[in-house]
Amino acid sequence: MRLILVGPPGAGKGTQASHLAAHYKIPHISTGDIFRANLKNGTELGKKAQSFMDRGELVPDSVTNEMVKDRLGNNDVAGGFLLDGFPRNTNQAQVLAQILIEKKMPLDAVLELKIDNAEIIKRLSGRRTCQGCGVSSHVEFEKPKVAGVCDKCQGQLYQREDDKEEVVARRLEIYAQQTEPIISFYNSIGLLKNISALGEVAEITKRAIAALG
């Protein structure tokens, strides 16, 4: 299964990606997670990405495309992959298409998670992210067993810099301007499936698997 997950910030891409990656036994590749891991480790890539991420802007394509190309060069994608948060604009979609042609790895599907802005705000304002493994939880909807501590790795939970209200507004704007056009593109070539991202996490995973067939 070679899959792209697309949807606005807070739609639950990361949450669903971890379940779908386990179900299909494929690596979960999140450009946001890779940037955050680099930020945490203070790498050059992290330094380049930080100011863009903190403002809710896209990291420049020159940086992002290289990083994804590199990641798709890894052997673990031979059996498929799940891309979460990439591509996010037309140029990235074109670069990805070129990489996949070269590697003879055509996409199977692009799954869009549909959600309204009111629900996005609720999800992002209560989200907590693990400093250790990067997994998201929620203070109300997906409470960790111990407040402030990750269930998976016991890492500390923190609030992402870009989950502040004004930054979320900018991320939503960018999504509408730059990312929505690629959804129409994937629809026009017959790869798009979409599902509602409302409801219980497990129910949405079932919906996704049913839609992917």
- Would you please indicate which residues are annotated as catalytic (active-site) residues? 13, 88, 127, 160, 171
Q: Which does 152 bind (CB under 5 to 8 A by kind): Mg ion, Zn ion, ligand AP5, none?
A: Zn ion
Give the DSSP H or E segment for 6: strand 2-6
Q: Classify the C-alpha dihedral 139-145-146-152 as positive or negative.
A: negative
Q: Minimum CB separation from Mg ion for residue 101, in Å?
A: 27
- Letter for the amino acid at 71? R
Residues in the chain: 213
Write out the DSSP string of 156-184: BEE--GGGSHHHHHHHHHHIIIIIHHHHH
Give CA–CA dist 59/46, Å, rounded.
10
204 is in the binding site of which of Mg ion, Zn ion, ligand AP5, none (Cβ under 5 to 8 A by kind)? ligand AP5
| Residue 132 touches Zn ion, criterion: CB under 5 A | yes
Nearest approach in angstroms of CB 30 to ligand AP5 is 6
- Of 18 and 65, the one with the shorter C-beta distance to Mg ion is 18
Nearer to Mg ion, 101 or 133 (CB): 133
Q: Which stretch binds ligand AP5 (CB under 6 A): 9-17, 71-79, 104-112, 150-158?
A: 9-17
Element (H, E) at 37: helix 31-40
Please, what is the minimum distance in Å from the beta carbon of residue 10 to Mg ion? 8
Q: Is residue 38 at the binding interface for ligand AP5, with CB under 6 A as the rule?
A: no
CA distance linking residue 117 with residue 7, whole number of Å: 12
